[in-house]
Structure 1
């Protein structure tokens, strides 16, 4: 009969995490100890974390705006800075808003937003099958629907011209900089959720080109970018016929562009062709 695993103590867990180079070993130990369903599984979780897997993948969830969001292996982990994007969206969304979460990853943005908007409708899409499976766990529970495909392509046609808030957490890391990312992202998250093309804005260009067709009059596209990309990103959405403004949060080191469709503007042309991309 196999021996029963001996429960690992807090101090032992901290020691193993510190030895693996985990800077916040105490905090991580508490999360692992509170999440592990059994002593033997805790040991396996510590081994995975020590091997460099993102803590959120090891736990199976990430905290985002005070909620636990399921995050499966290989799926983009929602970043704390992106909470700023959702906060901006929440300030714009009217009751009953139609919300679309493009490049949805785990679905954290859409789920978090509609929780703050009475009667909101949520639709999401991603090209990565693993992300879609994960997002369905989160978004279906919030009453939303998730579609698999390239950007707008899989969305229901009846949403054209009706979207009040279009969240697009597009990948914006330039291709040549992806290899400079921390291993937790570079190795363990889908490249399609990170790589934004030569200047990091390829996916944004395609999202912006299609946005006027899908946004309701007065609706807004919101996306995150880096500080040094903001000027080019605003030019991209301006050329698509949207009116941008840049919002920043120093505490979260976040830069968000809010690009509105004019209330009197006609719908735009269909989204431009290009390489398929997923997101975060």
Structure 2
């Protein structure tokens, strides 16, 4: 995306902001301009936001938030942006365990999944964990209104020991892009999101294997593990879950082009 100078008075003339965003290559310039104008407090702030967007910064990092499952999720620069297709994972979790009392969100990023589940499962105990301290800071902000807790560390090592055998819903939106394909990702992801949130190893399933291998120890009887994957990897991901002793299947949303592998203890 090429940087394009923005008029100093976008609030006075929103069409100038739209034109600048379109010239920078923003496909949904009108929608992005509307969100910038709704978020900015002054004309100068809107101008600065538009210039950051035109330089290639993801819109959610420019705004400071992303919409996810009806919530406004805080997203700081450098933190993985929750994808709308991942709402399908949340819906699958709620369909499987509509009365869950203990929820864990591994590889939580901004904590979007944990926050969405906390809202839907009013009163549930919600924990999130990520290896990236910046992501955990975001997750703490997003979970705080729901009394959720976020922990820094590598997968299960970050969790309080008393959660073992009690987790009804375990979500893990792990990195699943094969290492060789990371350079082929859109620049917004490749240049502005942490590699640890994208790179899943040679076949994209390295982190998924680790999550699946430890799941039975943490899940309650009948508890479920859910993880997003790609259409190409879905069959292999299902086999990973099965080899870990979970009853596994893949749920598909053609509307969102989303694939979620689900394993039940």
TM-score by length of 2: 0.95
Please give the secondary structure, in 2, of the residue aligned with 1:255: strand
Of residues 224, 230, 251, the one that matches 2:255 is 251
Of residues 253, 260, 266, the one that matches 2:264 is 260
Q: Does the Cα contact within 8 Å between 1:95 and 1:119 map onto a contact in 2?
A: no
The separation in 2 between residues aligned to 1:139 and 1:186, in whole angstroms, is 27
The separation in 1 between residues aligned to 2:240 and 2:11, in whole angstroms, is 55
The separation in 1 between residues aligned to 2:59 and 2:122, in whole angstroms, is 33
Of residues 226, 231, 252, the one that matches 2:230 is 226
Match of 2:147 in 1: 143
Of residues 213, 217, 221, the one that matches 1:213 is 217
1:141-167: CA deviation from partner (whole Å, max 9, x where unpaired): 211000000000010000000000000
Q: Deviation at 1:6?
A: 7.7
Cα RMSD (Å): 1.2
In structure 1, runs of 5+ residues without a counterpart are 262-280
Q: Does the Cα contact within 8 Å between 2:100 and 2:169 map onto a contact in 1?
A: no
**Greater relative CO (CA pairs within 8 A, separation 6+):** 1
The separation in 1 between residues aligned to 2:63 and 2:10, in whole angstroms, is 20
Does 2:19 correspond to 1:15? yes
Match of 1:104 in 2: 108
Please give the secondary structure, in 2, of the residue aligned with 1:115: helix
Mark the CA change 1:66 to 1:76 in structure 2 (over 3 Å): closer, same or farther.
same
Q: Does the Cα contact within 8 Å between 2:11 and 2:37 map onto a contact in 1?
A: no
Match of 1:156 in 2: 160
Residues 128-139 of structure 1 aligned to structure 2 (within 5 Å): 128-139=132-143
Of residues 181, 190, 203, the one that matches 1:199 is 203
The separation in 2 between residues aligned to 1:118 and 1:194, in whole angstroms, is 31
Off by >6 Å, runs of 4+ in structure 1: none
TM-score by length of 1: 0.90
Q: Deviation at 1:63?
A: 0.4
Q: Deviation at 1:7?
A: 4.0
Does 2:239 correspond to 1:235? yes
Please give the secondary structure, in 2, of the residue aligned with 1:63: strand
The separation in 1 between residues aligned to 2:13 and 2:209, in whole angstroms, is 51
Count of equivalent residues: 258
